[in-house]
Chain A
Amino acid sequence: MEVDLIFKIAAVGIIVSILNQVLSRSGRDEQATMTSLAGVIVVLMILAQKIAELFTMVKTLFEF
């Protein structure tokens, strides 16, 4: 099992949360929202590949 992915997602989450806090406190709410959105998109892009891999594996295993 690849634990790297879990750490990667958690790291992005923590970094984005810190950036969000800093930007919100300095009155840049728009930038904070954009940062959060960028983080979510990055994680989703990583995750989408793995989800596709999982469903391909299910397809091959169950002879779809």
Chain B
Amino acid sequence: MDTYVRILCGALISAILLLSLPENGKTFGALLTMGTCVMVLLSAIHFLEPILDFIRQLRQTAGLPDDYLRLLVKVLAVGLSSEIAASVCNLSGAPTLAKTVELVGAFLIVSFTVPLYAAVLELIQKLVGSV
């Protein structure tokens, strides 16, 4: 809760500072926003730790293979980081760059999940073969 209040205060301070920057300080406005985003994420990323621990615990209880869970977490990380980078690019007035970053993230996610598709295909082949 303490971290949350600090994050809120930091965001508000940043917003006020953004307003106080002169008109021609557009570049610094974008840099200030980027800095605030980074600081907020650095403080807030610890909130994810209990969720990831719970997922690991769930995997152990269910006896699922470790590879699939690692893949899932990797996909989550790629999605998160590409979303951050894309929103900062968008804010800096480069929507094309943002779209490219999102596209690269999507490519990476698809390339990560190829083994899953292969496993599903193998399963279908086995099922069809057994009929």
> Which chain A residues have a beta carbon within 8 Å of chain B's beta carbons?
1-3, 5-7, 9-10, 12-14, 16-18, 20-21, 36, 39-40, 43-44, 46-47, 50-51, 53-55, 57-59, 61-64
A9 to B17 Cα, complex, angstroms: 10
Nearest-Cβ distance from residue A48 to partner chain B, whole angstroms: 10
Q: Is B129 positioned at the interface, with any CB of A under 8 Å from its CB?
A: no
Contacts of B52 in A (CB 8 A): 61-62
Given the complex, which residues of B lie within 8 Å of A59, measured CB to CB?
77
Q: How many residues of B contact A (CB 8 A)?
A: 38
Grouping DSSP codes into helix (H, G, I), strand (E, B) and loop, the A interface class, with mixed when no group exceeds half, is helix
Complex Cα distance, B29 from A16, in Å, reads 12
Residue ID in chain B nearest A6 by CB atoms: B14
Write out the residue numbers on chain A whose beta carbons fall within 8 Å of the beta carbon of B106: none
Fill in one digit per residue for B63-88: 1 if any A CB lies within 8 Å of its CB, else 0.
Answer: 00000001001101100110000000
- Give the distance to chain A from B1, nearest Cβ to Cβ, in Å: 13
With A6-B13, A62-B77, A64-B77 as known contacts, state yes or no: A43 contacts B31, CB within 8 Å: yes
Further contacts, 17 of them, CB under 8 A, given A3-B9, A10-B17, A62-B73? A1-B3, A6-B14, A9-B28, A9-B31, A10-B21, A13-B25, A13-B31, A13-B32, A14-B20, A17-B25, A21-B24, A40-B28, A47-B38, A50-B39, A50-B42, A54-B41, A54-B42
